[in-house]
Structure 1
């Protein structure tokens, strides 16, 4: 026994090859979208990493790690601060060189291992005695380093190296460069271990002091070999071996003693013994104050404390190395592609949560990497790629969904043999994504309705039409057909015809669309239906009465469907009315609706009959012994057409007193 093809199979047979099998239109291949998104992510990540256009992201992540590290008080380094108390005690700045000499002698006498004087003595001045006293103090101490200041001239921006005056430079135990590198946002995060004008010949003062104090330097800071240096540039500032600083904490973390307390001998015993002492200005308005990763949101850090942090980083080996450019680009590329490991496999919400977790992980790992390993990886390219991966993959998913929706709409229209397919295709292209979804949903509803109607048709043909046709076939096969047999055969064939016609009418009614309704005069429909049913009423001995308004009754509707609806009501009333009865058809208007009715003088209906009267295949009058020839589709057709026109249908009846069937429709004012 063969199987009946489904609605989808019929549609597929009508439209021919599907999109997947159509030449030149291969099926969707997700790997192509993966490759496209991967290329876009690589271009974005590597372009940003090379160009460095979003360095603020790198700075923010680096500063985050600096602020989150635990703060501990460092040992072995003390700042002798030229603070406001010292200014009040000794006098306004600059002090006489003799006062500087006394301070140096006091610090050395207290047992300092090395002394860094973060004060620029680049001018001789007119105090020759003071210069001599300071030089003598430097020689006696034998472990004092003086700064070399590299600055630019105001005219032309030429860099110069400002050394201490010769008398002091020769008396000092060593010279060292002070100063740090400022990033584009003005924050001090790094230093060049060697720097100079024309060639990187000057070490950091921090390195000089560690050598004077015989402290081990854990960072690799030898002077660069001449072969590794760039060509000499006489007036350019040249740096080598750049490192990022790891600060021990915000301003004030490094221990301080007031210079006035040191001069007065009012410091704890042994406070400076065996320690590296830095002498510099901390009072407001003196010296240089710098924004750093740990103080950018608070008070800036004095330059002498930045020098102390540099010294501590050199001593403890916590200077941070930037990852080499080649390795940085390779790592950026790998991290940029990482989201494609899960995005194609996860649902949208899960993919979004995974992407957010990945971004948080990247930020946390990049911030913690310098503290854990001493290496800094600039994450701007990888982070922007992580932020862009979900939108880019979502875009490709939406494009795939759009192509699928367009293909489904095209196939549905081809299956429907739409004569205006070209116009529909143009309209489809103008639809928004949401509009495409709504149109596909509407088409799917229509397909489900068609499937339900197909199932109903099969059940109807199998049970209702097949039975009278089978009886007629048996009578014809019997070989003898008398007058009574012919009448029975005629009744069976007529019933099969009526059932088929009723079901065809139902199918047409189900396909009514609101957009196809037109303005018409309902009064004309009622009169024409009454004229059409007149002959049948006359044959039954039933008389019609009409109670209809003289003026037109304007509604929006389908003329043929409404005429058939009224005809069904009239025929139903005639069939259930005794001879010489009167069937009344009438209508009444309200401000927004019209109600018309058909009233008979039949046996009436019980409550149980009324409850199921408008259902399919319901024969409400059978229980009262009424005509058994009814198909059970007429009143269901009445309800269906009324609802398609935005109206309702109902009945009012009392057993033994007839029934009034009514329909109410919206009217046009």
Structure 2
């Protein structure tokens, strides 16, 4: 059992302790914070949700704006009360249903007649509403109400306050529908207008559908939130001066509810209505927004603070219960899901006319997630520290290059991070070591599952796979079948390959390159001694050993016959010479005996030369191949004359064939080629020896008109201890051409052959050309004849 599994119970108990702590501390803290504070983010979220609440303005509300154009035409503010009287007469003549002023008339005019004229116009209209103002008590001075002047107050249909509540961020979101000053009830101006319209039977379709008592009347507070239907300029409006001049048609005024207010810059009240940068809105348009909400009953009420505080505890409580039921799994998912559900609930409540600030509840979710995440990371860090300490005590086969001096700075966390970095580096080094060790194995190794799927392979195994298949190997069975079928006397076994692993151990197989392998099979066992369902298959390359064994067998067979043959022949000749009836003349006897002894010595010498070539360190010097050839021709000429062969040379390289090499071995190799050509030719045939100049090499060619070599033997004539059937007619041995090939390869050159049986053979060798000759080398150059004289 792992260390983490053993600590599971302890870890679960610790998490339960954190859960209980949050239940006892976090929920009361959430309740108190929601009841006592209002985070800035709540206002921003409210404004963002309200920005999606776009609705058309009521078509029967018309704003008459005291704007810059009207001020330019009628003069500077304030205007005379008679001007307002003429406006009311125009509106009455146009059929305006009601008129509400967002302009205070708290002081009498200098001319009382103007006030009486304005009051008379108000009475004639019969539906005019005027604002009053209130002021709170400050520094012991009692608050009070300031009403319009008496003539106007008595003539007006209704009075109401137009105060708005500016939040701490300077945004108008709330308004008091009723203010209570001592025992006096002061309704909002739009509320008085709305109540009068209801009494007149002028209501909207939404108000008709929701004819019950407004929710705000059932609450202790009459404060509501204004559900803005759009930005500034959302309502239809006309300039004050245009109405006064009769420029507005009566059809536009008939049946309208007219709100008169100041919109000129710097003259009237303007308020920010959102944190989303939607600009400011004149006070008269805010009154229009409120009137629409009252008529449609779509204003927004804030959930009671105590009830909202209890609701704020629900998300955190739901997350805690979900963690307890789910055994503290999926913390982030649960937190995100509950947080998203909380925001959806807030948005849904907004559509129903209720606002509940969610920031504190979301903050509670964050605290739960962060605290449990912190505890999880702390436990994980503690577990890492314990495991790192255990790992540091384990033996390390690799040298440790960790800089201990780095531990001398940083706090506890830094120390743990450094220890973790050290451990990870050790694991990486161990992994690289295992990978490099596998790739450095001299054996192709496949690690497979019990079904034969290849899990891991080293470099030699991948090279072995590439000889059989171009694509990556998925299952070892295909490779085994191909290589075993190629081996002599082996067929594919039926059924699953793993059923015959015992038979495969020690089996010989062959790849497409004709390389021979021995299969080694072993089951992978765990440290507890159990078989883990994994197999190791090794392919031991026996190609060199098999070929060496074949070559050794051929050599023994060859030498047992050819080395023994001249000695047996010599003994037989001696036995014949002892018998007077079969004895030969002494001269002929000695000649034949010498021939057989020299044949045995020549074979022994070739064998020794090939053996020496495998380890001999050549001392290359500048050599003219033409000189070497002349020397060889001098040696071969007596043999050619004895057999009646015409020996001719052709020097087609003006520079003499300069090469770097070991002169004695080059001479021996060329002599073997010339000698073979003479031996396999018949009397009267011609042997040509030529030297050619090539671009970067020198070529020497030996051609004859002799017996030729059969096609089947051509690929093997340069192998040791091999000889074609044609050799049976000659006294040569299968070491000469092998010596030629070895010498040429040691000199960086090569030898090739083409032949037709009965028409002769053509051998040619190539050696790297040497152009640059030092003066000392030129002085050291001597011809073959001069060497003979020196020797």
TM-score higher than 0.5 here? yes
1:397 corresponds in structure 2 to 376
1:60 corresponds in structure 2 to 44
Query: How much does 1:88 deviate?
Result: 2.0
Residue by residue over 1:269-292, the C-alpha shift from the partner in whole angstroms, topping out at 9 and shown as x without a partner, is 332222321111111122211111
**Do the aligned partners of residues 248 and 448 (structure 1) sit closer, same or farther apart at CA in structure 2, a change above 3 Å counting?**
closer
Note if 1:291 corresponds to 2:249: no
2:85 corresponds in structure 1 to 101
1:539 corresponds in structure 2 to none
Residue by residue over 1:64-102, the C-alpha shift from the partner in whole angstroms, topping out at 9 and shown as x without a partner, is 112112331322211111122222222211110111111
> Which of these residues, 292, 295, 298, is aligned with residue 315 of structure 1?
295
Indicate the structure whose relative CO is greater, using CA pairs within 8 Å and at least 6 residues apart.
Answer: 1
DSSP 3-state at the match of 1:314: helix
Note if 1:657 corresponds to 2:638: no
1:3 corresponds in structure 2 to none
CA contact (8 A) 2:123 2:156 kept: yes
Q: List alignment gaps of at least 5 residues for structure 2.
A: 396-406, 436-515, 517-537, 550-611, 618-791
**Do the aligned partners of residues 429 and 311 (structure 1) sit closer, same or farther apart at CA in structure 2, a change above 3 Å counting?**
closer
CA distance in 2, matches of 1:202, 1:111: 29
CA distance in 1, matches of 2:325, 2:419: 25
2:249 corresponds in structure 1 to 268
Query: How much does 1:53 deviate?
Result: 4.8
Residue by residue over 1:254-301, the C-alpha shift from the partner in whole angstroms, topping out at 9 and shown as x without a partner, is 1112222222222233322223211111111222111113x8623311
> Which of these residues, 273, 280, 290, is aligned with residue 300 of structure 1?
280
Query: How much does 1:192 deviate?
Result: 1.4
CA contact (8 A) 2:161 2:189 kept: yes
- 200-209 or 42-51, which moves further after superposition? 42-51
DSSP 3-state at the match of 2:177: strand
CA distance in 1, matches of 2:246, 2:234: 23
CA distance in 2, matches of 1:67, 1:273: 32
1:51 corresponds in structure 2 to 36
CA contact (8 A) 2:32 2:309 kept: no
CA distance in 1, matches of 2:386, 2:137: 71
**Do the aligned partners of residues 447 and 115 (structure 1) sit closer, same or farther apart at CA in structure 2, a change above 3 Å counting?**
same
DSSP 3-state at the match of 1:68: coil
CA distance in 1, matches of 2:183, 2:419: 68
Query: How much does 1:331 deviate?
Result: 1.8
CA contact (8 A) 1:79 1:278 kept: yes
> Which of these residues, 108, 118, 130, is aligned with residue 146 of structure 1?
130
CA contact (8 A) 1:74 1:248 kept: no
1:69 corresponds in structure 2 to 53
**Do the aligned partners of residues 113 and 26 (structure 1) sit closer, same or farther apart at CA in structure 2, a change above 3 Å counting?**
closer
Residue by residue over 1:151-196, the C-alpha shift from the partner in whole angstroms, topping out at 9 and shown as x without a partner, is 3588778643111112211111111111211111111101112114
**Do the aligned partners of residues 345 and 396 (structure 1) sit closer, same or farther apart at CA in structure 2, a change above 3 Å counting?**
farther
Alignment of 1:590-669 (within 5 A): 657=615
How many pairs were matched up?
435
- 387-396 or 273-282, which moves further after superposition? 387-396
- 340-349 or 178-187, which moves further after superposition? 340-349
- Rg comparison, structure with higher value: 2
CA distance in 2, matches of 1:179, 1:282: 17
CA distance in 2, matches of 1:163, 1:195: 14
CA distance in 2, matches of 1:21, 1:618: 51
- 402-411 or 248-257, which moves further after superposition? 402-411
Alignment of 1:432-447 (within 5 A): 432-435=415-418, 437-438=420-421, 441=424
Alignment of 1:421-500 (within 5 A): 432-435=415-418, 437-438=420-421, 441=424
Residue by residue over 1:442-464, the C-alpha shift from the partner in whole angstroms, topping out at 9 and shown as x without a partner, is 78789999999xxxxxxxxxxxx
CA distance in 2, matches of 1:383, 1:260: 53
Query: How much does 1:220 deviate?
Result: 4.3
Note if 1:383 corresponds to 2:368: no
**Do the aligned partners of residues 429 and 209 (structure 1) sit closer, same or farther apart at CA in structure 2, a change above 3 Å counting?**
closer
> Which of these residues, 207, 221, 224, is aligned with residue 191 of structure 2?
207
Query: How much does 1:383 deviate?
Result: 2.6
Query: How much does 1:379 deviate?
Result: 1.0
CA contact (8 A) 2:315 2:338 kept: no
CA distance in 1, matches of 2:616, 2:36: 92
CA contact (8 A) 1:428 1:436 kept: no
CA distance in 1, matches of 2:154, 2:411: 88
1:256 corresponds in structure 2 to 237
CA distance in 2, matches of 1:223, 1:619: 98
Residue by residue over 1:466-505, the C-alpha shift from the partner in whole angstroms, topping out at 9 and shown as x without a partner, is xxxxxxxxxxxxxxxxxxxxxxxxxxxxxxxxxxxxxxxx
CA distance in 2, matches of 1:430, 1:297: 45
Using structure 2 for the length normalisation, give the TM-score: 0.47
CA distance in 1, matches of 2:53, 2:353: 13
**Do the aligned partners of residues 438 and 223 (structure 1) sit closer, same or farther apart at CA in structure 2, a change above 3 Å counting?**
closer
CA distance in 1, matches of 2:313, 2:216: 34
